[in-house]
Structure 1
Amino acid sequence: MHQSLVAEVAGAAASAPEPTRLARRRALLQQVMRDVELRCSDMALTPERVAIEFGMSVRALHQLFELSDHSFHEFLTRTRLACAHAMLRDPGSRHVGTAEIGFAVGFRETSTFYRRFRQQYGDAPGAVRSAAQGGPPPPPAAVTLR
């Protein structure tokens, strides 16, 4: 799902042969990005954890992301938003609330999820869902008061 995002950010379509060191760094960046994509929903995913798991310092991780157009945090946020966007468009996820989707893809705060989603896609999560499903979502179940 996110292979094009990794290739785009990592600059995989280089036109000239790269020196070996740079090629290794780009390959490592792609490995890190794939790992982040696979675990993006983990709210505890931090640069510190990723750096340790790849045997590097946090500074080295951030320097690695300098090969791309995005910082580690920007890439993680874009990946989480792409997963949320896919869930919102999936008819099988229609029963899941938009806030729950935000939590499911790794956002800790609903307001942050809604704000970042709107910045990325130009619309609110509910509007994207509604457009994908061909109309407004079903009304909430009626509550009977006693």
Structure 2
Amino acid sequence: MIETWFRTTDVPAADRFDYWHTLATGLCGPSRIDSLAVEPFHAEGRALDLGAMGVVTDSKSAFSMARSSAQARRDSVEHCYLTLVEDGLVGCDQDGRQSTLTAGEMIIHHSMSASVTSAVTTGRSVMLHFPRTLLPPVALDLLATKLSGREGLGGLVAGGLRELAVLPADRDEEMARLAGITLDLLAALCHRELGTERPAATTPAALLGQVRAFIRTHLGDPDLAPATVAAAHHISVRYLHRLFQQEGQTVAGWIRDQRLENCRRDLANPALHDRPVHAVARRWGFTDSAHFNRTFRAAFGLPPGEYRKLAQVPVPAQRVLS
């Protein structure tokens, strides 16, 4: 887990907003962000990064943000954000829903195609960011909707966010497990808000089937890793490894084998002969061409380009003797 502390006081006053602007757009994607502060902009906080997931705790001066649908479409990865307001006032408008949050309230928003605008007064917040694949499906009906984090299930969700915010940087597995639990509690809170029921618990065998189906669906995501898979199913990374060990497999090995098999299939497909080898590899989550070539050769005995040539050689038609 990577820990980053940031303070605008570390740079000259004239550069402080630009410094924070770079950090904010790096997390939320291309956006228009304007300072509403009367005095020099101030922000400080801590970010914990666990690959595709992370948590940011910060306090900052007032600002406004606008992100257009066109800017959202340029993002290659779709992220979701669960934010708890600890102090101050936050206004948010997305998907035609408008909410104003005060201390102790939470909101879910996303980086997908819809535009979003927000205005934040001076205050503190905790934000969990994660891939869209980890968003509980029921939460889609409550995007940009104010949720109370002061008591009951909402209080448990808020408590999970606060615990994530203070985790030491060497607790990778604990963060993945706690993030999964927090999102599970969020799902329960959303079901309660909507008056629906949660799905029944599943057996280990059925859970392994669900995990494999999830992996197959998200093989193209280069950030797919045991931590994100475990969080998506609200289990610990250790338990995830145990599920695969019972089948004589490893999580990373199974992901790699599935990616390789899909690459092999595409390379052998004549309909895809114009697609470059590196594009085939990237489609299935391989971002390093040299690593892909080595891994493919180790698995199939030939470099991917040579395999494609042999696999797509036309088979001569057999002559029928009368």
The total of aligned residue pairs comes to 113
Residue 98 of structure 1: aligned partner:
277
Following superposition of structure 1 onto structure 2, how do residues 124-135 of structure 1 map, counting pairs within 5 Å?
Answer: 124-134=303-313
Higher strand proportion (structure 1 or 2): 2
Residue 258 of structure 2: aligned partner:
79
Instruction: Kindly indicate whether the alpha-carbon contact (under 8 Å) linking 1:26 and 1:67 is maintained by their aligned counterparts in 2.
Output: no
Distance in 1 between residues matched to 2:307 and 2:244, nearest whole Å:
30
After superposition, the C-alpha distances for 1:36-85 in whole angstroms (9 at most, x for unaligned) are 11111111111111111101011111111111222000000000000100
Deviation at 1:27, TM superposition (A): 2.1
What's the TM-score, normalizing by structure 2?
A: 0.34
Counterpart amino acid of residue 24 in structure 1: T
Please say if 1:55 is aligned against 2:231: no
Distance in 2 between residues matched to 1:133 and 1:106, nearest whole Å:
23
CA RMSD of aligned residues (A): 1.5
After superposition, the C-alpha distances for 1:63-108 in whole angstroms (9 at most, x for unaligned) are 1111122200000000000010011011111111112211111012
Residue 69 of structure 1: aligned partner:
248
Counterpart amino acid of residue 71 in structure 1: T
Counterpart amino acid of residue 209 in structure 2: Q
Provide the secondary structure at the position in 2 that maps to 1:107: coil
Please say if 1:121 is aligned against 2:300: yes
In the TM superposition, structure 1's runs of 4+ consecutive aligned residues that sit over 2 Å from their partners are none
Residue 144 of structure 1: aligned partner:
none
Percent of residue pairs identical: 29
Instruction: Kindly indicate whether the alpha-carbon contact (under 8 Å) linking 1:117 and 1:124 is maintained by their aligned counterparts in 2.
Output: yes
Q: Which segments of 5 or more consecutive residues in structure 1 lack a partner in the other structure?
A: 1-22, 136-146
Distance in 1 between residues matched to 2:286 and 2:272, nearest whole Å:
17
Instruction: Kindly indicate whether the alpha-carbon contact (under 8 Å) linking 1:51 and 1:61 is maintained by their aligned counterparts in 2.
Output: yes
Counterpart amino acid of residue 49 in structure 1: T
After superposition, the C-alpha distances for 1:90-144 in whole angstroms (9 at most, x for unaligned) are 1111111112211111012111111111111111111111012117xxxxxxxxx
Provide the secondary structure at the position in 1 that maps to 2:234: coil
Distance in 1 between residues matched to 2:244 and 2:313, nearest whole Å:
39
What's the TM-score, normalizing by structure 1?
A: 0.73
Distance in 1 between residues matched to 2:302 and 2:226, nearest whole Å:
29
Provide the secondary structure at the position in 1 that maps to 2:309: helix
- Asked which structure has the greater RCO (Cα within 8 Å, sep 6+), the reply is 1
Give 1 or 2 for the bigger CA radius of gyration.
2
Distance in 1 between residues matched to 2:269 and 2:307, nearest whole Å:
11
